[in-house]
Structure formats: C-alpha cells, structure tokens
C-alpha cells in the first residue's frame, strides 16, 4: 500500500469516526472539558437589570447644568444586592455601589472620584455623560439567545457563563471510553528493575496522560507481550468494553509487529501508512463496533500521531464539530534543519514568545526515540514532503501543541 499524504490521512481519520451516542446530566461545577449534548439558550437577560458599573451617585442627566457645577441632594443609598422602591425626583441623587440596580428615574452615574459631598449636598461638576457606567439589561447575554451550540466543549469561562445563566446542571455527551495497551516483549512497567535490552513503558503513560487531558474514561489493559494470542485477547477485551482501542507498538514491518496482523484477523484496517515523520506506520481501523488506533512504538511517534491524528478524531467521537489543525507562520531561528527524506515532517519546535519578535526554533535532534524533544516542544514545525533546508530568518509553518 502506498503511503497516504498527511492531509488525506487527517481527513480520513476524522471522516471515518462518528459521534458516540448517550448523554448524561451533570452538575455545572464538574462540566469542564465536557461536550454539550444540546444547545444552551439564555432563560433570562444577563444582567437581568440595569445596574451601575462604578461606585458613585445615580442622578438624572437632565438636572445637570451644561456649564459649571450642579448641587444635588442625596436622598437615599443603594448597596449591591438591594433596590430602591422610590422614584428619584428633580434635584435628587442616590448614593450607589457597583452592581446595584439603577434607581427609577436615574439615567446617569457620576463616579465618586468626581464629586464633593457635604452632608446631603452633592456637588457634581459639568461634563457628565448620560448612560455612561450603566450596565444595560441583557448586555452580556440577551434572553432567549443561543449561548452555546450543541457540540461545544466547555472551557473555564463557559462554566462561569452557565452559572451566570442560573444553570446548576447541564446535559453533556457521556464520556468516551478508551482502552489502552502497550505491546512489546522488551517493555517493562516502571518500578521494576530494567535488564539489558528492556525499556520502561513510557508510551502507555504518555497515552494515558494525553487521554486524561482530553477528559475520557480510560481502561488500562497494561503491557502485552509480542504474542499473537495475548494481543488478540487484549484487543477483543478492549473492543468489547470501550469505544476506542488505542495501542502502541507492533504496527511496523518487523517480525514481531503482530498488532497489525491481529487486527486484520479480528477487525479491519482502514489505512496504516502515512507519509509523515514521525509516525509513518500507524493503523487506523475497527474491531467490531470499536474504533482502533494502532500507534507506532517510538515514544515521540506515539505522542505526535496521537496529537495530529487521533486526538482530532476522538474529539469528533466526543461530539465536537470536526476542526482543522491550527497553523501559524513564524520566523525560524537557531540551528538549521536539514531534511533529506520524502515525508512531511512534524519537527519538534519551541515557540519563543516575544511579541512582534516571536520566533520558533528546533528542539535539536529529531530522532523518534528522543522523548526529550517532545517534552521540550510547544509546537510542531511543519516541513513539506520534499527534502528541504530551513535556515535562520526563513518563515515556517508552525502548529502549536495543545493537550
């Protein structure tokens, strides 16, 4: 099979999955990162009354002289949380605190820094602006408007928004469930001694960590040796109990790369060779009703393929609208990149945030086994399929990394 261009793999990865069904009602305080099962509309205006944005005095603009000072009489006060029953008449003013409702008849706030007060007598200088410092009813959210669309993934300010609408609970898509497996005879659980030729299982930990950041349920199936039956048992269990089966290792062309073989036996592979580096061998398929992602074994490739192809597809499964990867263009600095191979490269890069001088550099060696490169990186530098060189000052395409 030919290698698939990355852009096509991205489209295929998203197009071949569907949103899971099933919703649940949860409390708003626990809804961060969850995906809305329905649109949210405003049951009322926010704020639900005209109120003052500043501490000061509520007055009638028509009472103020066009030139010179005006003396008004302070007749009452309204702290936040209370309201005034009386209507304010000519020549009257009300002491008012931030957040308090505008008294009837008043249409102007004079901030306290601008006035002088002597007993009930209030001196207001000229130059006040009608309507200024008044937060209007519905200025944040208008009653009946759609605040969030179905499929919106809730951010921290969204949680505050839901609360400001008076919502205490919200309907969300149930959590996606993902089974995670590491494969390899050489792979060892951290905490045990390491013999020559063995390697600690960083991949399952990386996978679980990125899944935790995504907010899915995780079924940890541990480390499976390169044994056809053991792999088969694990994959079938994962497919039976989860929406997604995610594996690392065993999808290349080596003698012990059995994951791919087992999938063709118990499921189907949709595509597996992508013209990208890192991550040329990776398997996208299905086992029964579960979606299967077979990630490469190299620790960098695991994270790169997860972030670039698996995470976006999982978001679609979680009920979010398919989204394009986010790119920006920045000047390159530092040691040049010399790329000789014929695959699109997602080099690990560091964006140096420095205002208008923001730039990106390489993390150094781009070997797929060097997990440090991923740990240092905050972006991928996207290099075209053709061999190329990138030198200081040249503009490059960059994808900031999001976890």
Residues found near ligand AMP in the complex (CB under 6 A): 182, 184, 186-187, 199, 201-204, 248-250, 252, 254, 257, 296-299
Size of site (CB under 5 A) for Mg ion: 4
- Cβ-based nearer residue to ligand AMP, 216 or 303: 303
From Mg ion, ligand AMP, none, interface partner of 160 (C-beta below 5 to 8 A by class): none
Helical (H) or strand (E) element with 331: strand 328-331
From Mg ion, ligand AMP, none, interface partner of 199 (C-beta below 5 to 8 A by class): ligand AMP
Residue 184 is a binding residue for Mg ion (CB under 5 A): yes
Q: Are 69 and 124 in contact (CB under 8 A)?
A: yes
Closest CB to ligand AMP belongs to which residue? Answer: 297
- Cβ-based nearer residue to ligand AMP, 95 or 260: 260
C-alpha–C-alpha distance, residues 29 and 210, integer Å: 22
Q: How far is the CB of 373 from Mg ion (least distance, A)?
A: 21
What is the DSSP secondary structure assignment for residue 332, as one 8-state letter? Answer: B
C-alpha–C-alpha distance, residues 391 and 335, integer Å: 7
Q: Is 364 helix (H, G, I), strand (E, B) or coil?
A: coil
Q: Is 160 helix (H, G, I), strand (E, B) or coil?
A: helix
Burial class (CB in 10 A: 0-12, 13-18, 19+), 25: exposed
- Cβ-based nearer residue to ligand AMP, 298 or 361: 298
Q: How far is the CB of 185 from Mg ion (least distance, A)?
A: 7
Q: How far is the CB of 198 from ligand AMP (least distance, A)?
A: 9
- Name 20's bridge partners: none
Cα-based torsion angle of the residue sequence 53, 56, 61, 66 in order, rounded to the nearest 10 degrees:
-120
From ligand AMP, Mg ion, none, interface partner of 202 (C-beta below 5 to 8 A by class): ligand AMP
Residue 296 is a binding residue for Mg ion (CB under 5 A): no
- Cβ-based nearer residue to Mg ion, 267 or 297: 297
- Nearest by Cα to 247 from 258, 255, 256: 258
Q: Are 316 and 14 in contact (CB under 8 A)?
A: yes
Q: Are 180 and 246 in contact (CB under 8 A)?
A: yes
Residue 281 is a binding residue for Mg ion (CB under 5 A): no
From Mg ion, ligand AMP, none, interface partner of 298 (C-beta below 5 to 8 A by class): ligand AMP
- Cβ-based nearer residue to Mg ion, 25 or 255: 255
- Cβ-based nearer residue to ligand AMP, 148 or 306: 306
Residue 249 is a binding residue for Mg ion (CB under 5 A): yes
CB within 8 Å of 375: residues ≥ 6 apart = none
Among the listed ranges 36-44, 126-134, 247-255, 260-268, the one in contact with Mg ion (CB under 5 A) is 247-255
Contacts to Mg ion by CB under 5 A: 184, 249-250, 297
């Amino acid at each position: 099979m030919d290698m698939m261009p990355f852009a096509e793999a991205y489209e295929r990865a998203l197009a071949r999955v569907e949103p899971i069904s099933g919703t649940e009602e949860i409390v708003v305080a626990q809804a961060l990162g969850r995906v809305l099962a329905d649109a949210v509309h405003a049951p009322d205006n926010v704020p639900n009354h005209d109120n003052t944005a500043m501490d000061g005095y509520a007055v009638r603009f028509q009472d103020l002289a066009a030139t010179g000072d005006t003396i008004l009489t302070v007749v009452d006060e309204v702290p936040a949380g209370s309201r005034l029953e009386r209507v304010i008449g000519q020549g009257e003013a009300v002491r008012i605190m931030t957040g308090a409702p505008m008294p009837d008849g008043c249409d102007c706030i004079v901030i306290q820094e601008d006035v002088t007060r002597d007993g009930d007598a209030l001196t207001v200088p000229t130059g006040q602006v009608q309507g200024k410092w008044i937060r209007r009813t519905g200025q944040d959210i208008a009653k009946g408007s759609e605040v969030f669309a179905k499929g919106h993934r809730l951010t921290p300010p969204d949680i505050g928004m839901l609360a400001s609408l008076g919502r205490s609970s919200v309907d969300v898509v149930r959590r996606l469930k993902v089974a995670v497996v590491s494969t390899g005879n050489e792979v060892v659980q951290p905490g045990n001694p390491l013999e020559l030729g063995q390697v600690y299982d960083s991949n399952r930990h990386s996978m679980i960590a990125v899944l935790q950041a995504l907010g899915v349920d995780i079924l940890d199936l541990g480390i499976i040796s390169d044994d056809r039956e053991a792999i088969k048992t694990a994959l079938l269990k994962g497919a039976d109990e989860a929406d997604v089966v995610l594996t690392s290792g065993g999808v290349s062309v080596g003698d012990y790369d059995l994951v791919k073989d087992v999938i063709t036996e118990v499921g189907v592979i949709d595509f597996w060779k992508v013209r990208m580096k890192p991550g040329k061998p990776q398997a996208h398929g299905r086992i029964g009703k579960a979606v299967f992602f077979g990630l490469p074994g190299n620790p960098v490739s695991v994270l790169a393929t997860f972030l670039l192809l698996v995470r976006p597809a999982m978001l679609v499964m979680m009920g979010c609208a398919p989204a394009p990867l986010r790119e920006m263009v920045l000047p390159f600095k530092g040691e040049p990149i010399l790329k000789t191979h014929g695959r699109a490269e997602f080099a690990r890069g560091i964006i140096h945030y420095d205002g208008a001088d923001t730039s990106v550099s390489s993390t150094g060696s781009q070997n797929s086994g060097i997990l440090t490169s991923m740990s240092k990186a905050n972006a991928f530098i996207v290099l075209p399929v053709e061999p190329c060189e990138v030198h200081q000052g040249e503009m490059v395409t960059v994808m900031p990394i999001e976890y």
